[in-house]
Structure formats: C-alpha cells, structure tokens
Amino acid sequence: MIKTAQDIKSYKKQLKEALSDQFLRTALDNFNCAYRENRSAVYEGIDFEEIKKEIAAEKDAALPRLKELFEAFKIHAEAAGAKIHVAKDARQANEIVAAIAKENNVKKIIKSKSMTAEETFLNDHLEKEGYSVTETDLGEWIIQLRKEGPSHMVMPAIHLSRYQVGDLFEKVTRKKLASENIDKLVKVARKTLRPAYLEADMGISGANFAIAESGALGLVTNEGNMRLVTTLPRIHVALVGYDKLIPDLKTMLRILKVLPRNATGQAITSYVTWIKGAVACGSSTTNRKEMHIVFLDNGRLTLAEDPVFAEALRCIRCGACANVCPVYSKVGGHKYGHVYIGAIGLILTLFYHGKENDRAIVKNCINCQACKEVCPVDIDLPHLIKKTYRVVLDQDGKTPVKNVLLSKVLKNRKLFHFILRNAYLVQKPLAKNKGMIRHLPHFFEKEHGFRSLPVIAKTPFRDQWEAIHSHVVQPKYTIALFAGCAVDFIYPEQALALLKVLQKYDVQVAFPMDQTCCGLPALMAAEEETAKEVALQNLKAVTSEKYEYILTLCASCGSHLKHNYPKIFKDASLSPENLKAFTDKIIDVSSFVVNVLKASSKDFNVTGEKVAYHSPCHLCRGMQVTNEPRKLIEIAGYQYVPSKDENVCCGFGGSYSVDFPEISAEILKKKLDDVQATDARLLVSDCPGCVLQLGGGMDKRGRKIKVKHIVEILAETK
C-alpha cells in the first residue's frame, strides 16, 4: 500500500533506497529520454504554445461554471437512462459505489484504470465490503497484484522491470514464463483476464471528459480493457471528478489533440470512446445497462474558486510533468507523489490527501521549469508547488530554521553582504587547490561531497567596482549590471570579463550599489514576504528609467526578475506599468551581445576550440533564450559541439542541491557523462549556479574539461 513519508527524515531514507535501485534508475532514465524524443516528433505541425493557451482559457472559463455544467450534464445523461450521484468526499464516493453493488446483488467487480478511484482508495473499500475487484489495465493489474500504488498516472507500473513482472506472473499463473519477452507477458494478462470480464456483474471506469451539452462521457484508452469493462457486465459505474466537466464536444476534441501526444507520444490512442446513458446490454434482465455516474467533489468545487490554486484543476492527467522531471527520473513515482504523481501530484496531494502526505514531498522540486514547459494546459506548476509549500508550512504552523535565517538575513542587505564577506575568512583554510574546496569539513554530511565548492572571493565585485569602472565618452548603450550574489561574491571574474567585452562595444555599464539578492532563494523556501521585500529593494536600487537594459549574468536572477516579480506583485501593490518598465529591460548576456550589439565573428579571434554548452533551466525555459548562446559560441571563434540533453537541469537548483544532495549529485552525474561523451574540452553555461555545479563536479572527477561562464570565453577571444 502507499506509504508516503510524512516527515523529511523518513523521506530522505526512502529517497536513499530509491536512488540505490539500479533498475528503477535505468528504466526511468530511458523512459525520460525516449519520451522527449517521441513527443517532439508527434507534435510536428501543431502550434503547441497556441493550443495550450486555448485549452487553458477554455478550462478556466469552465471552472466557475462547474455546477452549471453538472446540471446540464445531468439532464442529458438522465434522459438517456443514466443515474447520477454526487459524492462530497472520497468516503461518500466509495459508499455510493458499494451501495450500488449491494442493491444489485453484485459479487464480482471488474475495473478499468481510474485515477479518481485511486484517489478515493475505492478498491480497498469494496474489498472490505466483501466484493472481489479485478483491475484490468495491464499496469494497474500488476500493481494490484503487488499491492502497490501507481508510480505514474498513465503508466502505473513503469517502476518495474519485465523480470519483476515475469516473476509476478509466474506466481499468478503457476507457469514458467520467458520474462524477457514482453509480448508474452502481455498475452498472459490477456488470457488470464478474459474470463473475468464475462464473470463480472459490475464494471467500474473513470472518464476523461464529461460533456455537459450531451451528457456523454469521453474516454481515452489504449488496451481495450475499458471497452470490455463498460460492455460486458450488466452494471457500469463511472467515477468522475467534477473537474472533468467540459461544456462541449469542441473542447474535448481540442484537448484530444494534446492528451495522447503529451501522455504517450501518440497522435491518438487506440480507442476514443463516447458513452451516453444506458446502452443495450444482453446480460441485464432489462436488456439495458444499469448505468451510474458518480461525480466526486472531494475539495474540487472549493478549489475551483481559489484565486491561486484553481489553475491546478485544468490538469488533464497526461502525466507529462513526471515524464520530464529530472527528480522523478531519479527517484520514481512512489517517492514523488502520494496518489497523484509528478509536479501536479506535489500540489494536488495537499488538497485531496492532506498536508501530512504532502509535507515532505512538496519540498522536492528543483524548480527547473521542465514541467511547466511541457504542461498542455499551461499550469505554472513550479510556482504552484512553492505556493503549496507555503500552505503546508502555514497549516503546520511551523517555520523551519532555514526560513527564519533566510528572511532575517536577506531582508537586511548590509547584514547579508557582511556575512558573505566574512565567509571568505572561514573558508580560506579549506581551499587547497586553485580556490576549490575538495574536502568538506566533517560537520558536513558526506553526501554533500559530490562536487568541489568554490571559495567566496577575497574581494567581491562590488568592492572592486570603484577602482575598475570606466566612463565611456559616447556610449552606444547605457546599461545596469544586475550581478546577483553568485557573481558578486563568488565569481567576480565573470563580471570583470563582461566589462572587458562591453567596453570594446562602447557600452556604459553602471552597477547600482544598493542591489541585493534577487529574492529567488526566499521564494524557493516559500518565504513570500521576504521575496517581496528584497524585490522592492532591488526595484528601488535599479531605477529602470536610467538604463536601456538591465543585464544579468545569472539566468536564475534574470528569470526571477523578469517573470516572478510580476507574480509577486500580482496584488497590485505596485503599478504594473512601472514593473513592466523594469522587467522589459532584463536581458541575458548572449541576447545582448548577439541581438542588441549585433556582434560578428570579425570582432573575435578564431580559436576553433571545441566547446560544449549547458543550457540553464532559467535561461532556456525561464527566459526562453535558446539560440543566442549557441550562436555566440560560434561568433566568438569557438566550435560549438552539441551534447545530449543540453536543456536538462544540471541538478543545482540553488539550495535544492544542499537540501537534496544525493539527487542533485545523480542529476549532475548524467549531465557530466553526456558532456564527457563529446570531444569538447571546455564546457560553458550562462548561469553562475550551473557553473558552480558543473565546475565542482568536473573538478571532483579530476577531468580536464574546464567549466566557464560564456562571458569568460568571450573575453578571451575579444
């Protein structure tokens, strides 16, 4: 049965177990890579960005009307012979289904896959009431036999190998099986389950859609079991969440364009089925199916009215947020959700299964934005996960020590910078090799030792500024540098490299001294108030009207300033126009040099050195900058060497790598392996955080591949 950790200590223990499961890791890595390839192929010719906005808008328009849509659905479905029930919570839903079974003298029940039934733990209830329940979806049947919960919303048994399934089926059939042959395993399920459909009195299904204008259910499936479950037994019960109500067929057809593509990389599933009312049924004494539809609320109707979280109800259960999640691919679904899995699971668990089950897992988001990018209904998943974390903290009435310190220190820039300056003195004795700390002192736990750490700079950039900044007589552009803490205090050389490059292009650079941490670390810890406070400090420090651009070398700062500040001030405590004047000016170095300065290869010396590139999450997804850095490498006289999965997270995630070092290390490992598979001897990125993670990892490996910020290699050939 599902055992979700309810505190961080036992969660970490579970994670450790999952990380040591070699098969799980291989299976999920393969899955993760293959999915991304299939998906992009199947979306050819479809404007994903446009269609996802349309669906999101349709879903948003439907949410405030759920009760009205329900009434319309009810009228049509009842007219066609269906019986409609309403369950306010999971327990009531289970009781309704059990009561239908009792009333109709049911003994055997057969089921097709339903996440909603998983949500209510329907099988447990029915079995307790004495009914025999058989799951028929292959994955669901497997996990039912293993007495497990699903590890994925679409592929519930994706955590298992064919050999594990083979062993299980040998026990069930008491026959020797050739497990390496998946086709044969599938036939075992076909053969074993066939009689069960015919013997069952009741079939239970879920539904993907409840169409209000006609009272029909829409179901999207592949194996054919749902069709049998809804055809052969004399009773059909469909358990449907209120969120599945949509106004019309048009909406369903639009969603149908993305659901199979996103879920399994199929243009369409083997079967799409509409069921309306009580259809003909030879096993019923009336020759009509006894058809029941149970609508489950379980918090949905309240959620639909929530100004922040209603968005989560757009979810169409494609499971893609798990498919692309670097954390999911390391730890698997049983450690990355409760019943609902993946990014959406970290959110829905709070609302459907309570804070206890969400408390630990909700912390495990690295904020790489991959889920947000892939979501076909445009849910801002990483944002909602942090919002969810805030609610969990509030409900628990606790403030972690980290949060107390974070907000105390960050709100006071001088104190924060005082601490950073003095950190240099503390670290100095530990740095043995070229400013890298390879061995952490013993009070750190050993799992933090997967990468060397850079030393805090002796003189931060801000303290060098007075001496180094210059005045450009006829500047082409006047820009402000938003350095970010990592560049300012760890990698001032990156800012120096930038100054060198920009000077040659006659760009006047200003460094507003009162700038402070962008506030992202506070937001990641769900310290919204602190994030807002430092945002205000930065907006005051960097007066946007003075500059044509606000350039940052840190992708995380950049995307936070540009896209999170508007979310932080959504309450309209700041005029949107003023804010826009600021956010519109945020730019990364590659875009600035390529698009604004229009740099050409004539401006640089040619080295021809082979350079691999890591695309920071907050640049490629956060700021949607993908081509410019790759172009810039070539313009600057280097040879860009593509490597596998350049857009996948490096595992840094700011404090994530401190909170979950073992997962961070695993994500990093794959990234470094992919880079090492090329013949590049230099790896560049455009975020100091990524440079820290990748550089530390390479150093620990003792590899000769150097890791630099892209601006540093520009300065070298300029």
Site residues (vs other proteins, CB under 8 A): 27, 30-31, 34-35, 79-81, 136-139, 142, 155-158, 160-162, 165, 182-183, 185-187, 189-190, 193-195, 198, 211, 213-214, 216, 222-225, 227-228, 230-232, 249-250, 253, 256, 264, 267-283, 288-289, 291
Min separation Cβ 316 and other proteins, Å: 17
Task: Kindly provide the residue ranges of all beta strands, DSSP E only, lying in 88-243, ordered along the sequence.
Answer: 108-111, 132-135, 202-205, 209-211, 216-221, 235-241
- 584 vs 596: CA distance, rounded Å: 14
Pair 653, 369: CB distance under 8 Å: no
Min separation Cβ 222 and other proteins, Å: 5
- When the beta carbons of 291 and 483 are compared against other proteins, the nearer one is 291
Min separation Cβ 283 and other proteins, Å: 7
Min separation Cβ 446 and other proteins, Å: 33
- 46 vs 267: CA distance, rounded Å: 11
- When the beta carbons of 323 and 538 are compared against other proteins, the nearer one is 323
- When the beta carbons of 77 and 518 are compared against other proteins, the nearer one is 77
Min separation Cβ 710 and other proteins, Å: 36
- 174 vs 192: CA distance, rounded Å: 12
- When the beta carbons of 106 and 157 are compared against other proteins, the nearer one is 157
- When the beta carbons of 185 and 393 are compared against other proteins, the nearer one is 185
Min separation Cβ 420 and other proteins, Å: 46
Q: CA nearest 532: which of 517, 552, 512? A: 517
- 326 vs 335: CA distance, rounded Å: 13
- When the beta carbons of 201 and 380 are compared against other proteins, the nearer one is 201
Q: CA nearest 21: which of 326, 332, 328? A: 332
- When the beta carbons of 222 and 564 are compared against other proteins, the nearer one is 222
Min separation Cβ 609 and other proteins, Å: 39
Residues 6+ apart with CB under 8 A from 572: none
Min separation Cβ 58 and other proteins, Å: 15
User: In this structure, what are the phi and psi dihedrals at residue 21, rounded to the nearest 5 degrees?
Assistant: -85, 95
- 345 vs 318: CA distance, rounded Å: 12
Take residue 33 and report the two structure tokens written for it: 């890579």
Number of H helices, E strands in the chain: 36, 20
Min separation Cβ 653 and other proteins, Å: 26
- 280 vs 285: CA distance, rounded Å: 11
Q: CA nearest 276: which of 538, 80, 432, 48? A: 80
- 405 vs 48: CA distance, rounded Å: 42
- When the beta carbons of 289 and 363 are compared against other proteins, the nearer one is 289
- When the beta carbons of 142 and 663 are compared against other proteins, the nearer one is 142
- When the beta carbons of 282 and 441 are compared against other proteins, the nearer one is 282
- When the beta carbons of 138 and 648 are compared against other proteins, the nearer one is 138
Give every strand in the sheet of 507-510, ordered side by side: 507-510, 477-482, 549-552, 586-588
Distances (CA, A) of 185 to 113, 151, 153, 181, 198: 19, 20, 21, 7, 21
Min separation Cβ 80 and other proteins, Å: 5
Pair 110, 205: CB distance under 8 Å: no
Pair 589, 710: CB distance under 8 Å: yes
Q: Are strands 271-276 and 453-454 parallel, antiparallel or unpaired?
A: unpaired
Min separation Cβ 626 and other proteins, Å: 27
